[in-house]
Amino acid sequence: MTAPTSQKVYFVSLGCPKNQVDTEVMLGQVRGAGHVLVDDPEGADVIVVNTCAFIDQAKEESVDTILEMAELKKGACKSLVVTGCLAQRHAAELSAEIPEIDHILGSADFQGIAQALEATPAKGRGKGKGKRALPVVKVSETPSYIYDHDAPRLRVGHRHSAYVKIAEGCDRPCSFCIIPKLRGPQRSRTIDDIVAEARALVADGARELNLIAQDLTRYGWDLGDAPETRPTLAQLLRALGQVDGADWIRLHYTFPSAFTDELIDAIAEEPRVVKYVDVPLQHIDDGMLKTMRRGHSAKVTYDLIERLRSRIDGVVIRTTFIAGHPGETEDAFKALCDFVGEARLDHVGVFPYSIESGTVSALLPHRVPPEVAQARAAHVMELQRAISRARNEARVGQVVDVLIDGLSDETDLLLQGRWWGQAPGIDGVTYVADGTAQPGDLVKARVTQAADYDLATSLELEP
């Protein structure tokens, strides 16, 4: 049997950190199969685009990227592979409208990437000659795969910061969300498996572990028949807290109604778990929460914020909202604005609602015009901008722990990193002056200035 020919492969990864982890697993599989990873698409034999389809803007970016990469089939590129959420949702449309695509893999079918590279591209596909060939499509109707600690993984970006996907899929019925259809039902990894990956990531240089899933707080609900036998997120945090070298353990995508006292205690008590909670609230008006099928009330949200702040010293809270969802009245929007002013959360993101076919919200009446949704989102962000600046200014004079990412994007005269209240890629950054440090160093720095989202600090020299 002839061994497969080594090919030069270029990857494009779009979308969220969960997609990034999938790309890193594919990179590991491709390299393990003997192929060569390249940084320039111009010289690649194969181009792989891992797509996102969460909102309209993400879908447009994915399609534009596929079309851009398809142009390279006029040159050296022999095969174009499309995977991820857009492939899962719109495989038929992609196949019909972009003839340059040779392989389509669904959101849970990317583990077949090495086999796709070994397949010979169909003759004439995308070349405009002869009978048009169809792409090879592998899209599971119900996604079921989730990687484990044995899966080959080649990380990209900073060595000192890593994402750990502890579960995949979602069982919640939120009316605006397509994720359950794109990613399938929830499936959690075991605590032992996650801890094994955490140890491997630390051995590979990681100091910060960012735990991700579609719904972190429901971790373990699908494991075991009886509630008392299922692992919990709190138990996972306790286990990860024993991993030497995992200095910062961070939680992303926690659901407001599933915060148990056990979980809050674990966050508060485990030294390696940073006191940072990412809890997407989406809205505060009871009518909107019901329309969105969030399964909780405004009271649950207010109670949760009070519990977090009273029991976790110095907790930093991040959230996201949707503005302009069908049925959002002026009064409902005012309630959201009032809440933002009252709650004074540390980090807030706002998405203007966009219609997603296949969701309940797409069928609802009382649509908010897109331009109104955009204006409402901008207004909330302007309210939050002043709050974020005030909270940053309150930190001037404090000494904070900063994880150094490298030289500043603005100037080589400054270092750039993040204090533990800033998550990678979504919050602001911390600039560090008056000292030297290497990427991955954890240093103490005194806050000297504050901006809307960023901090300026001066390195505190050890006595």
| Res 224: pLDDT | 83
Residue 126 has pLDDT above 60, yes or no: no
Q: Compute the distance between CA of residue 82 and CA of residue 22 in angstroms, rounded to an integer.
A: 13
Looking at domain 161-393, its CATH class is alpha beta
Question: pLDDT value at position 434?
Answer: 83
**Over the chain, what is the mean pLDDT?**
92
User: HSE of 372 in the Cβ direction (CA atoms, 13 Å)?
Assistant: 12
Secondary structure element (H or E) that encloses residue 187, with its range:
strand 187-188
pLDDT tens, position by position, 252-292: 999 998 899 999 999 999 999 999 999 999 999 999 999 99
Alpha carbon distance 87, 93 (integer Å): 9
Count of beta carbons in the 10 Å neighbourhood of residue 330 = 9
Band (147; pLDDT cuts 50, 70, 90): very high
Mean pLDDT of 79-93: 94
Q: Which CATH number fits domain 8-138: 3.30.70.20, 3.40.50.12160, 2.60.40.420, 3.10.20.30?
A: 3.40.50.12160
pLDDT tens for each residue of 189-213: 999 999 999 999 999 999 999 999 9
Amino acid found at 108:
A
From CA 226, how far away is CA 210, in angstroms rounded?
A: 28
Beta-carbon contacts of 436 under 8 Å, excluding residues fewer than 6 positions away, are: 415, 459
- Tokens describing residue 373: 């949704």
- In this structure, the strands spanning 46-51 and 79-84 are parallel
pLDDT at 116 exceeding the cut of 90: no
What distance lies between CA 291 and its chain's CA centroid? 25
Which residues of the chain does CATH 3.40.50.12160 include? Answer: 8-138
Q: Specify the domain boundaries for CATH 3.80.30.20 within the chain.
A: 161-393
The dotted CATH code for 399-459 is 2.40.50.140
Residue 168's pLDDT is 95
CA nearest neighbour of 364 among 116, 174, 212, 151: 174
C-alpha of 223 from chain center? 23
Interval 387-404: pLDDT, tens: 999 999 999 999 999 999
DSSP annotation of 110 reads G
Residue 123 has pLDDT above 70, yes or no: no
Query: Which ranges of 128-184 does DSSP label H, i.e. alpha helix?
Result: 179-183
Which pLDDT band, with edges at 50, 70 and 90, does 58 fall under? confident
Structure tokens at 259: 């915060």
- Give 90-99 contacts, CB < 8 A, sequence gap 24+: 90/53, 91/137, 91/139, 94/66, 94/135, 95/134, 95/135, 95/137, 98/66, 98/67, 98/70, 99/125, 99/126, 99/132
Cβ atoms < 10 Å from Cβ of 361: 22
Q: Where in the chain is the domain with CATH 2.40.50.140?
A: 399-459
